[in-house]
């Protein structure tokens, strides 16, 4: 039998606010000693009161607006009660029946050129819990992460394969970074996805019971974990056994899923309105201000790079992988005023290599868009040749100098004086009669050797095409 795979994702996105969602503790605790970024509020001591961080709400509004969700004029916080050591209050402050935003969709491109529109059910803000770990047979708790703001975003069951789920997560990460609301680093837990998975016979319209996969920490793991779970469900179905609504935990080291628990029901959480916080009100003016600050989104910009600059889709996709890179590319195009595809090639090859090697973001490059444009103009005008241009890319950054300054100071300009080159070529031919004879006898591959000699004598500054033209004249005379 043919099966259809049904997947819905629940993602948690850690917002990059400076302070926590209900207190003024700093969120900058990566690498800090445990329990050094805590206060009575986020430790849940009796008698304290939470105060909502406006920046967290605003960042969540940005994402809501970017996916076309309806930001609610009034939403409420709720207490989700459960007992776990990393949750000192005994409840998590979250949103429940009246979340910040409803609806919207994230449209993701698929490999075959189609797109998939994944409807969003809801988006809300909540606080994160702490972390526990086992060490020498003891259970240790770090509360630093308690109260860090999160967005929870829940999709409808619209994804149809492990690859689509991976693509969704990739595009969501791209979007939250693009909007500047999260670092989106999965290894640091900034982006966490729980996958809900079921299968059904192809053509069916009902939904079968699902399982929920937790603890996936990378996009590849999400794809692998879902694929494993689909195999398991198909085996069960073929044996006529039911799929039970378990919660499964992905073991990234073993690459296997383990049953964590039977699914808890909503009633287990005894949700009720958070009495210590006012309703969250978002008025039109606030909404309009946030909406006005939303930049052109990644896929729209990708499409524009294709139509406006004539780039291939793959190049446009790479250039829009990060907003800063897209900005860098466009600023260079504007400064250069030449062929944008040429700029794209240089940015995607030489500039990106420099970024990767130096682990820099495009804003940190001292090879600014203006300097890259100037370098490309030197190349176009024939002042330097391509190998020199490639060598200049890391040097302009390292030395923080304009390319023409380096070219002048070091005499890197091409030897373009044809008389000089001709004299050098004549001397070379005269000095190597054996090679000349072999060339004339048909060993045309020697041309490379002759050109190489001249390039060496000029320390790479000759225009290789011009050298070849002169040599051919001399050798074939």
Please report, as ranges, the residues that interact with ligand ADP according to CB under 6 A.
6-10, 154-157, 196-198, 207-208, 210
Would you list the DSSP string of 14-73?
A: E---SB-SSS--BS--TTPPTTSS--HHHHT-TT------HHHHHHHHHHHHHTT-EE-S
Give me the phi and psi of 407, to 5 degrees please. -60, -45
Question: Which of Zn ion, ligand ADP, none does 6 bind, CB closer than 5 to 8 A by kind?
Answer: ligand ADP
Q: How far is the CB of 278 from Zn ion (least distance, A)?
A: 19
| 129 binds Zn ion per the rule CB under 5 A | no
Stretch that binds Zn ion, among 22-30, 64-72, 123-131, 295-303 (CB under 5 A): 22-30
Residue owning tokens 């529109």: 117
Q: How far is the CB of 165 from Zn ion (least distance, A)?
A: 35
Q: Give the separation between CA 301 and CA 322, rounded to whole angstroms.
A: 11
* SS3 call for 154: strand
Would you list the DSSP string of 87-130?
A: -TTSEEEE--SS-SEE--EEEEE-TTS-EEEEEEEEEEEEE---
| 39 binds Zn ion per the rule CB under 5 A | yes
Residue owning tokens 């990234």: 252
17 CB-near residues (< 8 Å, 6+ apart): 27, 53, 55, 56, 59, 149
Q: How far is the CB of 401 from ligand ADP (least distance, A)?
A: 53
Q: How far is the CB of 250 from ligand ADP (least distance, A)?
A: 16
Specify the DSSP element, H or E, that contains 261.
strand 256-262
Among 42, 108, 393, 454, binds Zn ion (CB under 5 A): 42
Cβ atoms of 123 and 100 closer than 8 Å: yes
Q: How far is the CB of 96 from ligand ADP (least distance, A)?
A: 11
Neighbours of 4 (CB within 10 A): 13
The footprint of Zn ion on this chain (CB under 5 A) covers a number of residues equal to 5
Stretch that binds Zn ion, among 37-45, 165-173, 174-182, 333-341 (CB under 5 A): 37-45
Question: Which of Zn ion, ligand ADP, none does 10 bind, CB closer than 5 to 8 A by kind?
Answer: ligand ADP
Q: How far is the CB of 136 from ligand ADP (least distance, A)?
A: 36
Question: Which of ligand ADP, Zn ion, none does 198 bind, CB closer than 5 to 8 A by kind?
Answer: ligand ADP
Residue 41 vs 191, nearer CB to Zn ion: 41
Residue 6 vs 396, nearer CB to ligand ADP: 6
Residues that bind Zn ion (CB under 5 A): 23, 25, 39, 41-42
């Amino acid at each position: 039998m043919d099966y259809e795979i049904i997947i819905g994702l629940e993602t948690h996105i850690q917002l990059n606010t400076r302070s926590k969602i209900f207190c003024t503790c700093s969120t900058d605790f990566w690498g800090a000693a445990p329990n050094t970024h805590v206060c009575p509020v986020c430790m849940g001591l009796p008698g304290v009161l939470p105060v909502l961080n406006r920046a967290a709400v605003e960042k969540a509004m940005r994402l809501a607006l970017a996916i076309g969700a309806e930001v609610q004029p009034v939403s409420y916080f709720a207490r989700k009660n459960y007992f776990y050591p990393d949750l000192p209050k005994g409840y998590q402050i979250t949103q429940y029946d009246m979340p910040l935003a409803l609806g919207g969709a994230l449209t993701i491109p698929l490999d075959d050129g189609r797109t998939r529109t994944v409807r969003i059910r809801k988006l809300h803000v909540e606080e994160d819990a702490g972390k526990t770990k086992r060490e020498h047979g003891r259970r240790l708790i770090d509360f630093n992460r308690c109260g860090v703001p999160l967005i929870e975003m829940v999709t409808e069951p619209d994804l149809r394969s492990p690859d689509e789920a991976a693509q969704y997560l990739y595009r969501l990460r791209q979007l939250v970074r693009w909007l500047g609301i999260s670092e989106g680093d999965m290894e640091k837990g900034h982006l966490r996805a729980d996958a809900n998975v079921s299968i059904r016979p192809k053509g069916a319209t009902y939904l079968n019971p699902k399982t929920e996969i937790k603890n996936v920490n990378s996009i590849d793991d999400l794809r692998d974990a879902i694929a494993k779970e689909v195999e398991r469900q198909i085996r069960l179905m073929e044996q006529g056994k039911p799929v039970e609504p378990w919660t499964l935990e992905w073991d990234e080291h073993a690459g296997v899923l383990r049953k964590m628990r039977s699914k808890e029901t909503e009633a287990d959480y005894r949700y009720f309105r958070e009495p210590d916080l006012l309703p969250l009100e978002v008025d039109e003016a606030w909404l309009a201000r946030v909406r006005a600050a939303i930049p052109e989104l990644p896929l729209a910009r990708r499409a524009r790079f294709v139509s406006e600059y004539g780039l291939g889709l793959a190049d446009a996709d790479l250039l829009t992988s990060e907003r800063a890179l897209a900005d860098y590319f466009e600023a260079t195009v504007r400064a250069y005023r030449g062929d944008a595809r040429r700029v794209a090639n240089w940015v995607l090859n030489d500039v990106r290599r420099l970024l990767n090697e130096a682990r820099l973001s495009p804003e940190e490059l001292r090879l600014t868009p203006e300097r890259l444009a100037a370098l490309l103009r030197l190349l176009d005008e024939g002042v330097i040749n391509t190998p020199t241009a490639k060598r200049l890319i890391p040097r302009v950054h390292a030395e923080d100098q304009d390319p023409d300054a380096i070219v002048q100071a070091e005499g890197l300009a091409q030897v373009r004086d044809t008389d000089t080159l001709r004299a050098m070529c004549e001397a070379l031919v005269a000095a190597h009669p054996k090679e000349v004879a072999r060339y004339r006898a048909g060993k045309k591959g020697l041309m490379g050797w002759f050109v190489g000699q001249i390039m060496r004598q000029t320390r790479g500054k000759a225009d290789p095409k011009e050298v070849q033209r002169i040599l051919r004249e001399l050798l074939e005379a």
